[in-house]
Structure 1
Amino acid sequence: MRYLLILFLSLTTVNSYSQDSTATVLPTKVKGTIISSSTDEPLSDVNIVNLNQVKGVATDENGAFEITAKANDTLHLSYLGYKSLKVRVTNDWLKFGNTEIAMTEMALALEEVTVNQLQLTGYLEVDMKQIPIQTNNQYRISGLPGRSYEGGKTNIATKILGAIFNPADFLYNMFGKKPNEMHKLKKMKEDDEIRNQLAQRFDREMLLVLLQVNKFDLDEIVNQCNYSKDFINTANDLQILDAISECYEEYKVIQRSKERKSGKKKDKA
């Protein structure tokens, strides 16, 4: 009888522990609704990215979204004409479900642009000197072998500096110190929703947030990867992503080659 009592108490304890464990399991997705703070109307097509898991979604016509997340993940919300937000995922949000998030409109100030027209004289020799001459370079489009795009200008000073300054060293300083960000780079390329969002953007905001670099460093990375200023200024965010990704893969090949050569020298010594 005593053995039966011990068995019963053991089963009760296990069952109770199992129920407690099940009760603490939180869902792996959060739901929310994005509205305008000025009109209280839902905002559709708001870009939402989980910066930790590198997953992206967009709100539907009712401003609603659902995204994979866990406690302490950070969601980045961005929408044209509105101030971007970073929202931390909490246990309460995971537990109690849908939450409403208000985004604030942002005033956009257009910078004054001065257009300098060519003052043609009618003399070919004089007028030809006023027309900028560019040397165009072609670059590959990711996923389209044999195709190329983008024409940019280079000059002799850039080529000389490029020969003196080793781009691989610069890329090592940028990429080598940010392994987590480079891992995110790969995940960004695999997420169709993020790629679709980047293909429509030119502000670099999402790239800066995900890669944890500033605008200057991002431009310098692409520049050192032998892309022109014209490309940097006109490419959409997806093209910039693919350019950096391709450059990073080439950098890894160079580094592996250096390591093999260094290993062979040590063996000979």
Structure 2
Amino acid sequence: MRYFVVFFITLLSLSANCQTKVSGTIVSDITMLPISDASVININKVKGTTTDIKGNFTIEASVNDTLHISFIGYQPLKVRVTNDWIKNATATRIPLTEKAKVLDEIFINKYNLTGYLQIDAKLAPVQDKNYRYNIAGLPYGYEGGNNSPNAFNRIVSSAFNPADLLHNVFGKKPTEMRRLREMKKDDAVRNALANKFDRETLSALLGVTKDDIAEILERCNYSEEFIKTANDLQIMDAISGCYEEYKAVHH
């Protein structure tokens, strides 16, 4: 009995040691001032947090985990967790580099309007009908593959085409795709994605490129407007819905 108690205590000790955390301070690389509300996400554990008013954060992490750090107006940064960092009792200072402010070129299309409503209505561009469905955690819906024509047929066709992008991404990245469910559970991750439109964090979490994300959504019958304007949380929910359809067909 005594040996069992010792063994049990040892297991508890090892379990406690596995639940390690690291701390850091996010600062601007120019001013060295702290950056508050920066997003810090552990890609491996799919856990997230934000920095406080002093730029400090603490997050669960193990050796070799990768932290994805981002803030609006700054270049996102990936940081590998080392053994020394875990053993270090003080917070590690991590600088973020400000993005160069470059404005995209804007094109303004000219329409030769006549002043007659019936004629001008035909000259104005009209978008195709969007099919919509509810995305978890949002008060309104977005068009999606579930309810749009031929969406299911596109998923089915991927089963017979090994070169299809959905097969290459969903079939060959099962670990990354399983993160979708974990991403939905963590409020910090969801909040971070809801405030982002750059696909940087989402790409890091799923291990795919931004171009891959856009092409996945195209093949799942999402409109070009949705792909360009939706925030990262909405994009995540859209990919998750498409992935669940893909699994249903392939299993």
Would you call these one fold, judging by a TM-score over 0.5?
yes
Structure 1 gaps, min length 5: 1-13, 152-157, 257-269
CA-CA distance at 1:143 after TM superposition: 3.2
Q: Which moved more, 1:49-58 or 1:168-177?
A: 168-177
The aligned residue for residue 192 of structure 1 is 187
The aligned residue for residue 166 of structure 1 is 157
Q: Verify the 8 A CA contact 1:73 1:89 in the aligned structure 2.
A: yes
Mapped pair 1:107 → 2:111: no
The aligned residue for residue 87 of structure 1 is 79
Q: Verify the 8 A CA contact 2:130 2:143 in the aligned structure 1.
A: yes
- Match for residue 148 of structure 1 among 141, 166, 174: 141
Look up the equivalent residue of 2:39 and give its one-letter code: N
Q: Verify the 8 A CA contact 2:136 2:237 in the aligned structure 1.
A: no
The aligned residue for residue 221 of structure 2 is 226
Equivalences, count: 228
Q: State how 1:29-40 maps to structure 2 within 5 Å.
A: 29-40=21-32
Mapped pair 1:77 → 2:72: no
Deviations 1:73-127 (A, max 9, x none): 1111111111211111111111112211111212120112011132202355653
Cα 1:64/1:136, change in 2 over 3 Å: same
The aligned residue for residue 3 of structure 2 is none
Cα 1:94/1:182, change in 2 over 3 Å: same
Q: Verify the 8 A CA contact 1:48 1:75 in the aligned structure 2.
A: yes
Q: Verify the 8 A CA contact 1:167 1:224 in the aligned structure 2.
A: no
Mapped pair 1:138 → 2:134: no
Q: Aligned partners of 2:19 and 2:85: how far apart in 1?
A: 10
Look up the equivalent residue of 2:243 and give its one-letter code: Y
Q: Verify the 8 A CA contact 2:143 2:222 in the aligned structure 1.
A: no
Answer with 1 or 2: which has the greater Rg: 1
Cα 1:128/1:29, change in 2 over 3 Å: same
- Match for residue 202 of structure 2 among 188, 195, 207: 207
Look up the equivalent residue of 1:240 and give its one-letter code: I
Q: TM-score, normalised by structure 1?
A: 0.76
The aligned residue for residue 120 of structure 1 is 113
Q: Percent identity?
A: 52
Q: Aligned partners of 2:67 and 2:223: how far apart in 1?
A: 33
Look up the equivalent residue of 2:196 and give its one-letter code: R
Structure 2 gaps, min length 5: 1-5
Q: Verify the 8 A CA contact 2:135 2:141 in the aligned structure 1.
A: no
Q: Verify the 8 A CA contact 1:35 1:42 in the aligned structure 2.
A: yes
Q: Aligned partners of 1:125 and 1:105: how far apart in 2?
A: 50
Secondary structure of residue in 2 paired with 1:93: helix
Aligned-pair RMSD on alpha carbons? 2.9
CA-CA distance at 1:46 after TM superposition: 0.7
The aligned residue for residue 42 of structure 2 is 50
CA-CA distance at 1:139 after TM superposition: 2.0
Mapped pair 1:254 → 2:246: no
Q: Aligned partners of 1:219 and 1:44: how far apart in 2?
A: 31
CA-CA distance at 1:26 after TM superposition: 7.2
Q: Aligned partners of 2:18 and 2:143: how far apart in 1?
A: 48
